[in-house]
Amino acid sequence: MSELKAMINIGGEMAKKLTTVGIDSPEKLMELGSKQAFFKLKAAYPNVCLVHLYALEGAIQNTEFNSLPEEKKKELKEFSDFLKR
């Protein structure tokens, strides 16, 4: 879990949630990708939201979530909206 917390955008709470869904290292997060990781989180924690998805993508890209390109944010929002259906 401490390795996850070393990633940008990943705090203690997010690291704990990721660990409970089987994502216990930065390598596993990067291997799965933000969408698949978010899907797993959403199944276990229905209240996770779009910002969590942005944070995961930012962690993978090693950038602040609010600095993601607009096109990437749009793509992620569409994915999040699709999961709500």
Distance in angstroms (rounded) separating the CA atoms of residues 75 and 18: 22
* Angle subtended at Cα 34 by Cα 78 and Cα 53, rounded to the nearest 5 degrees: 55
Tokens 């660990």 belong to residue: 19
* Residue range 21-77, pLDDT digits in tens: 999 999 999 999 999 999 999 999 999 999 999 999 999 999 999 999 999 999 999
Distance in angstroms (rounded) separating the CA atoms of residues 39 and 37: 5
pLDDT higher than 90, residue 85: no
Give pLDDT, residue 2.
75
Distance in angstroms (rounded) separating the CA atoms of residues 83 and 72: 17
